[in-house]
A = this chain, B = another copy of it.
């Protein structure tokens, strides 16, 4: 590794991650990643008692394009890309990302976000919008900002956080 700066090492480590379209074989691992997020009720609005069948039907079907981040045969994260609005607003996509707790702190969220932007462009989208970034999820807000997203709106008390009650949520946006 001598002679490689921090940025070069980051680039090397990125190459070890594959991004694949989700398939039924990934699902059991994906569910172990999603389930704790639903149960916690701190970052996504889906029902806290979402069943595996409901989650599978949502994540594995249109209008979602869902992907997994895989390293050495292990799923480290999952995300989706979908149109944020019907026809005349369908050039803007919406995405959601969940990183495996076992892979926290390795930059998987950032890599999923960057790769999703490339894929979204390939799918024909011209912008990416997050509709409900929970304001108390400050790590996520900071990460999306670092990756070029602007806070374009603040929704007062828009999210019923399981522990904190009603908290604000942000609308974030990036032109692709």
A: which residues have CB within 8 A of B? 41, 44-48, 85-92, 126-127, 129, 131-132, 152-162, 166, 169, 171, 173, 175
B91, A160: Cβ atoms closer than 8 Å: yes
Q: A45-B88, A85-B45, A86-B46 are in contact. Are A153 and B156 (CB under 8 A)?
A: no
**CB-based closest 7 A-B pairs:** A153-B153, A45-B89, A47-B87, A45-B88, A45-B85, A88-B160, A153-B171
- Chain B residues contacting A85 (CB-CB under 8 Å) are 45, 131-132, 158
Q: State the CA gap A92–B41 with chains docked (Å).
A: 17
- Per a CB cutoff under 8 Å, which of B47, B127, B155 touches A173? B155
A83: shortest Cβ distance to chain B, in Å? 10
A156, B160: Cβ atoms closer than 8 Å: no
Q: A153-B152, A154-B152, A171-B155 are in contact. Are A90 and B45 (CB under 8 A)?
A: yes
Give the residue name and chain of the B residue nearest to A92 (CB): B158
- Chain B residues contacting A46 (CB-CB under 8 Å) are 86-88
